[in-house]
């Protein structure tokens, strides 16, 4: 059976509303205009530091405020769960994969504490035998080290990574593992511009995508 590792934000969950609320609370305290949900989704993917940098530049906040605003964001991240929802069919798909004998993990650039907090809040944490956040190792995606670590923590078997973004696609390519692209997440470019093995637009198609990759790898 396969080792299947998932990205989190934009792949398993739509967390942009919570992240936007955190960002706009911080921006309001700085006397700056809020960012939109579309901007929030554009800024997500490369970790907190990059998110804060993009948020600052969008609202003309000086570089000197980066560390202070990043820490403010981190301080409020653990409670950012109440507007986040799983994508339709996620829990059912995870249950089917486990019933079929696959082992599951998470590899995300979200810090590990809020990662676990939101998975626990949504009753998804117990599906995963291993969870790796953006601060679990000294490097984060698209460096392949966290993804390798997630796979290494699971029982032996073919490897599959499921994600939604350009960062995920690059991570999979650098790790040399097959990539399932969830097309309804936070990607910035068209599907045609991204490398992938299989695409899914909803989680009803995940079983077939996994089967296709396992057949291709034989």
pLDDT above 70 (res 67): yes
pTM of the model: 0.94
Q: DSSP letters along 102-147, please?
A: -EEEEE-SS-HHHHHHHHHHTT-GGG-SEEE-TTSSSS-TTSSHHH
Each residue's pLDDT tens digit, 103-131:
999 999 999 999 999 999 999 999 999 99
Q: Output the pLDDT for position 201.
A: 98
Q: Which domains does the chain have, with CATH numbers?
A: 3-14+84-216 (3.40.50.1000), 16-77 (1.10.150)
pLDDT tier for residue 88 given thresholds of 50, 70 and 90: very high
Which residues in 123-150 are b (16+ Cβ under 10 Å) and which e? ebeebbebbbbbbbeeebbbebbbbbbb
Among candidate residues 7, 14, 18, 46, the one labeled active-site is 7
Note the pLDDT of residue 83.
Answer: 96
Q: What is the mean pLDDT of the chain?
A: 96
| Over residues 33-44, mean pLDDT | 96
Q: Pick 46 or 86 by higher pLDDT.
A: 86
**The pLDDT of residue 218:** 67
For residue 160, name the pLDDT band (cuts at 50, 70, 90): very high
In this predicted structure, what is the pLDDT of residue 78?
81
In the annotation, is 7 catalytic? yes
Q: Characterize the bridge pairing of strands 159-163 and 198-200.
A: unpaired
Between CA 96 and CA 101 the distance in angstroms is: 9
Q: Contact at 8 Å (CB) between 106 and 86?
A: no
């Amino acid at each position: 059976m396969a080792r299947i590792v998932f990205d989190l934000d934009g792949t398993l969950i739509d967390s942009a509303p919570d992240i936007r609320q955190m960002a706009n609370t911080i921006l309001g305290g700085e006397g700056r205009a809020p960012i939109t949900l579309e901007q929030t989704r554009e800024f997500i993917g490369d970790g907190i530091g990059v998110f804060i940098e993009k948020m600052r530049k969008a609202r003309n906040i000086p570089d000197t405020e980066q560390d202070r605003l990043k820490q403010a964001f981190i301080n409020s991240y653990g409670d950012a769960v109440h507007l986040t929802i799983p994508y339709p069919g996620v829990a059912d798909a995870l249950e089917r994969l486990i019933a079929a004998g696959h082992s599951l993990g998470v590899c995300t650039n979200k810090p590990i504490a809020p990662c676990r907090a939101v998975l626990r809040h949504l009753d998804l944490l117990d599906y995963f035998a291993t969870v790796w956040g953006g601060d679990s190792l000294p490097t984060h995606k698209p460096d392949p080290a966290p993804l390798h670590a997630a796979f290494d923590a699971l029982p032996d078997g073919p490897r599959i990574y499921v994600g939604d973004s350009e960062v995920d696609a690059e991570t999979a390519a650098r790790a040399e593992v097959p990539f399932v692209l969830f097309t309804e997440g936070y990607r910035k470019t068209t599907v045609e511009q991204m490398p992938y093995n299989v695409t899914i637009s909803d989680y009803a198609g995940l079983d077939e995508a996994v089967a296709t990759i396992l057949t291709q790898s034989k």
